[in-house]
Amino acid sequence: GERVPARGWAGVAVGLAGMAVLLWPDLRGAEVKPGVALGVGMLTCSTGVWAWSSLYQKRRPHGADPFAAVAFQKLVGGAAAVLLGLLLGEGPRWHPQADGLWALLYLTFAGSVVGYTAYLYALAHLPTERVAMYAYVNPLVAVSLGIAWGGESADPHLLAGAPVVLLGVWLAGTAPTAKAEAATVESAL
């Protein structure tokens, strides 16, 4: 497996801290309905877990086809979500509309098939700590799109957290790779 340099780990940690700053109002729960803070906290943690699992995945030898593994994860996750929704009584309240079904179809292919294929390709060909940063950049892109096209406004937590996230991305992106470190050691000899 690939050894992640300390600067790469620092980038992951700083990026997670930036996400926490971004979401602090929701994590506190003062401005939202009860239960939402728990969901936002879980989403924040999932960002960190995604970054960590990207680092771990390259180090752990496995024989499974990554595309088959992703397909299985999507199938099981989707089935679990549908089952949970039905158990919570959401079935009778679901009234599919054409716009919603088109959005679901688009997200299935663009977000899942294309997105995960690109992610798996990047994980196989790029330094892991750089690939892991996508979990931090995506929320910034979503917030930026919300400001640009959704009429949302930039609050102080966004203005404070976004630079911290970008610092984490920069740290991970400029961390020396194992190949670069080996070349430096070899040239010194």
Each residue of 105-134: pLDDT tens digit? 888 888 778 887 888 788 778 877 777 777
Structure-model confidence comparison of residues 112 and 161, the more confident one: 161
Candidate from 5-14, 25-34, 35-44 with smallest mean pLDDT: 25-34
Number of continuous H segments (helices) and E segments (strands) in the chain: 10, 0
| Distance (Å, whole) CA 1 – CA 123 | 12
The answer on pLDDT for 30 being more than 70 is no
pLDDT reported for residue 163: 94
Spatial CA neighbour of 147 closest among 168, 162, 132: 162
Domain ranges of the chain: 6-188
Q: Per residue in 142-155, pLDDT tens? A: 888 889 998 888 88
Locus of tokens 């966004």: 158
Q: Which two tokens stand for residue 19?
A: 């996400």
Query: What is the overall mean pLDDT for the chain?
Result: 79
| Residue 164 pLDDT grade (very low, low, confident, very high; cuts 50, 70, 90) | very high
At residue 181, the pLDDT reads 55
